[in-house]
Structure 1
C-alpha cells in the first residue's frame, strides 16, 4: 500500500449500518454469560469465514480469533496488529421493552458487549473487502470479560493467544455512557483501576430475637464492620491516591424473630497503586477481624485479586488519538480523559503487549443509561463509527512506513 491509498471514512461504513444493527440486535436478543458464548461465537466465526478470514475457535474456551494477512510477510508486511472485542452478557433481567430485548430470562447485554462485537465485525467485513493494508490483523473475540476472576482475557492468554496469534500492538474499546455518541476518549498511562473482591464471613452465636443477651449477633457485627471499612479510604489511604471500598452485598438471617449464626459481606475494592492495593487488602482484614473480636465473634476474610490496572502505552495511545482525530475531528476526541474507577480485563493483554484501551461515548442524560442497568442499551449510531475507526486504525498501523 502506498501513501496515496485512501483511508476508510465513516461514510464508507454507513451503507452497512442496517446490517450491523441487525447483527447487534440478534446478539442482544440472545445473550450468553461468561464461557457460555456458544451461539455468539458461532455467529462471529461464520461471518468471518464467509468474508475470507482464517478462523480459530475455542481459544480460551469460547473465544474466537480471526486472522487476515495481506502481503508477503516480509519488510513492512511483517507487522501485525491485534484488536479485541468482548462477547459476554450479564445475569440481569432486562427492562428496556425493546423489540429485540433479551429472549433469555435473567440474562441481558447490559454492558454493550453486543455493540463491541458488532463494531469489530463491521471492520472485519470492510477490511476483507478493501484490503488496503500490508501485514497481519488478528481479531480477538473474547469471552468472560464480566467474570471478575478467571476472566476471558487471562484464559485466552494462558491458551497461547500471543504466541499463536502474535501482534506488535493490541487495542480494545468500551462504550462510555456520559459522553455523546461518536466521541472518543483516550488516556495515556493508567486509565482504569485494578478491581479486587473481598468476602467477609462473620461467625456469631444465633438464638431467639427476644433474648439477644444469650447470642452474639452477627448482624450487629456486620454493621460495625461496614462502618469501619469506610475509614480505610478516608483515613488510611493518601488523599492523592484514588481508591474505593464498596460493600455491595450483605446477607444474614431468614426471619425477623431469629438472630442468625452467621453473616456474609462481599466487597468491591478498586485502586491504581500497587502500594495502595496492598494497604487495602491489609486494612480490610485487620478491621474486620478486630471489629468481630470486639463483639465476641469471629471474622474470616478471603481476598481475591481480580483485574490489574489498565495502563495504556504512550506511543500506541498517541497513534490511536491521531487516527480518531483524522476520522471524526479534534472536537470529538478527548485526548486525556479522567481516571475511571471501573475495571477491565483487557489490562491483562496490555501487560503482554503495548497498546491502548479507549472509550466511545454512548449518550448523555436520559440517552446515556449507565451500564449494568436493566434499562441500558448500546447506541447503534456508534456501529459504523466504531467499525470505521477499527478499519482506519488497521490501515494506518499496517500502512507503508
Structure 2
C-alpha cells in the first residue's frame, strides 16, 4: 500500500474539480471548429506555461505541445487531447452553453482537453516522475479527412517531441461515468467518405416523361446501397454504409438536373474497405444508368483503423485497476464503428486509445447531438488517470 500511495489517486485531484469545471465550461462556451482553435490553444498554452511547462505553439497549425523533463530518466511518454468543436446548434439550455451560434462542443473535446490540463497541473506540482512528458493538444479531430493528428505528425511531432508510447482517451456515452474501457488490437473502425454526384435531365414536374429525374435515381441508389453490407460483405466482418446527406432541387414543380449524396463508410478489414468502395461505385453507376442518368463517385479514404498495442494497453489497464478498481474497468470492450484520427499516431508509436463512461440512459446523450454535454464527474477521474499513468510509466 505504501508503494501504491506514491502515485496519484482520484482524491488527490478532487480539490481541483471546481477549477477544472470552470475551465471546461469556459471552453464549452467558446467552441472553435477545426483549425480555428486559436483561443482554445492560447488558453491551453497559458495554463501550461503558468504551471512550468515548456510550451510549443502552432504545431500542425493550431496544435500545442507541453513538455516537462525531470530527473535522469530516459523514457518518454506522449498523451493526446483533442480541442475542436462541431458545426452544430446547441440545444442544451445550459448556463455555459455555446455562445457562438452553429458551433458546439458536442463530442466532449472540451472535457478531454480539461482532463489533460488537470493532469498537467498536478504533475507539475507533485513532480513524481523521472523522464520526459509530452502533452499533445491536437486540432481538427472532427474533420474525418484533413486530420489534425496527421497535420501534427507531418509537422514533425514525433521527431520534435519523441515518445516511447502514446496514449489518448475519448468519453463514452452508454457506460457509467468514471468507468474505463479498453481493447487490445483493432478497436475503432476506418472511416471513409463517398460523394455521389448524379446527373439527370431537368424538366417540368407535370411532364416527367420529358426529363430524367435525379431524385428518383438518388432514392434508388440509397436503397440499393443498403444491400452492400447485407449481401456483399461477409456477415462476420463489421461494416457500415450510411447516407448522411441528400440534396437536390429547390421547387416542388421543377424536376432538377442534378442530385448529390454524401456517405460515411466504416470498416475494419482492408479487404472489406476495398469491397465497399468497389460496390458503392458499381451500384451508383448502375442504378443511374438504369434510369437514363449518370453517376460519378468521389471516394475519399479518411481515418485508418485504431489499433492498440498489446503491451501498452495491458499497462494502461493495470494503472486503471489500481486507480478505480476492477469493477470500474472493462479490459475487453466491444468494437466501435466510430473512427478516430488518433489512429495515425498509433501507426507511428505503440500505445492505446481508451474510453471513459459519460453516462447511461437519459444521462448518456450520444455525442454529435445538440443536447449532449460532457460529464464533469469525469474531470478529476481522467486527470488522475493521466497523472498516474505518467508516474507509473516514468517510475
Interval containing the TM-score (normalised by the shorter chain): over 0.9
Output the CA distance in 2 between the equivalents of 1:360 and 1:340.
Answer: 14
- Residue deviations 1:129-150 (CA, integer Å, cap 9, x gap): 1110100000000000001111
Does the aligned pair in 2 maintain the 1:31–1:88 contact within 8 Å?
yes
Aligned to 1:56: 56
CA contact (8 A) 1:199 1:264 kept: yes
Q: Measured at CA, do residues 369 and 4 of structure 1 come closer, stay the same or move farther in structure 2, by a change above 3 Å?
A: closer
The within-5 A match list for 1:107-186 is 107-186=103-182
Equivalent of 2:296 in 284, 300, 325 = 300
Corresponding position of 2:272: 276
1:260 — aligned with what? 256
Report the alpha carbon displacement of residue 3 of structure 1 after superposing the two structures with TM.
5.8
1:336 aligns with 2:332: yes
Equivalent residue runs for 1:234-383 within 5 Å: 234-383=230-379
Deviation at 1:364, TM superposition (A): 0.4
Match of 1:10 in 2: 10
Per-residue Cα deviation, 1:238-286 (whole angstroms, up to 9, x for no partner): 0000000011111111111000000000000000000000000011001
CA distance in structure 1 between the aligned counterparts of 2:371 and 2:348, rounded to whole angstroms = 36
- Secondary structure of residue in 2 paired with 1:58: strand
Q: Distance in 2 between matches of 1:291 and 1:191?
A: 34
Q: In structure 2, what is the Cα distance between the partners aligned to 1:198 and 1:254?
A: 23
* Separation in 2, partners of 1:133, 1:4: 14
Q: Is residue 2:29 matched to residue 1:33?
A: no
Whole-Å separation in 1 of the counterparts to 2:243 and 2:370 = 21
CA distance in 1, matches of 2:5, 2:273: 48
Partner of 1:105: 101
Q: Post-superposition shift, 1:4?
A: 7.4
Dislocated runs of 4+, deviation >4 Å = 2-5
Structure 1, unpaired ranges of 5+ = none
CA contact (8 A) 1:181 1:361 kept: yes
Tell me the equivalent position of 1:43.
43
Tell me if the contact between 1:5 and 1:132 (Cα under 8 Å) persists in the aligned partners.
Answer: no
Q: Which residue does the alignment assign to 1:88?
A: 84
Q: Distance in 2 between matches of 1:4 and 1:364?
A: 31
Number of positions where the alignment pairs a residue of Structure 1 with one of Structure 2: 394
- Report the alpha carbon displacement of residue 71 of structure 1 after superposing the two structures with TM: 1.1
What secondary structure does 2:6 align onto? coil
Is the Cα–Cα contact under 8 Å of residues 85 and 140 in structure 1 kept in the other structure?
yes
- Residues 253/361 of structure 1: CA separation in 2 closer, same or farther (3 Å cut): same
